[in-house]
Amino acid sequence: AGGAKKDLHLCRSFFYILIMYFLYILHSETADKYYVGYTSNIQMRIEKHNSQTDFNTFTSKFRPWKLRAVFKCESEKQAITLERFIKKQHSRKFILKLIDPDFVPSGKLAQLVRVPHSLSR
C-alpha cells in the first residue's frame, strides 16, 4: 500500500511540474482600463473575460479586452503573489511600465520572464 501512495505522490508531483502559470495584463480600449490576472491557459482566460455572461465582474463591464503583456511564472503561488503585489500598487504608471517591451523587471518582479506576444496569442 505504501508503494501505491508513493507512486501517486510522484504522479501528482510530475503533473504539477507540467503546469505553467502566467501573469497577464489586459487593456480595455473602450474604457481605457487595465486588468491584471494569472492563469495556466492564456487563450482560454482571455476568451472567458471577453465572453462570460456574469455582468457583475470587473472585466465583463469593460469589454473587449486585449492582451498587452504576459509573463511566465515559476508556480501558481508565485503568480498569485505577483498579481497581488501589482494590484496593491494601485498605479497605472506601474502597469504602463510593465507592458513596455523594453522594461526589465527588477526587485520583487525580477523573477518575471516576459513571453513574447506572438507566443501568447
Q: For position 96, what pLDDT does the model report?
A: 97
Counting as low any pLDDT under 50, the low residues of the chain are 119-121
Cα of 7 vs its chain's centroid, Å: 31
For the entire predicted model, the pTM comes to 0.81
Q: For position 16, what pLDDT does the model report?
A: 52
Residue that has been written with the C-alpha cell 507512486 in this structure? 7
Q: For position 22, what pLDDT does the model report?
A: 95
Burial readout 75-94 (b: 16 or more C-beta within 10 A, e: otherwise)? eeebbebbbeebeeeeeeee
Four-point Cα dihedral 59, 60, 66, 67, nearest 10: 40
Q: What are phi and psi of 5, to 5 degrees?
A: -65, -40
Q: For position 54, what pLDDT does the model report?
A: 73
Q: For position 35, what pLDDT does the model report?
A: 97
The Cα–Cα gap between 114 and 82 comes to: 14
Q: For position 102, what pLDDT does the model report?
A: 92
Beta strand ranges found along 1-121 (DSSP E): 21-28, 33-39, 65-73, 113-114
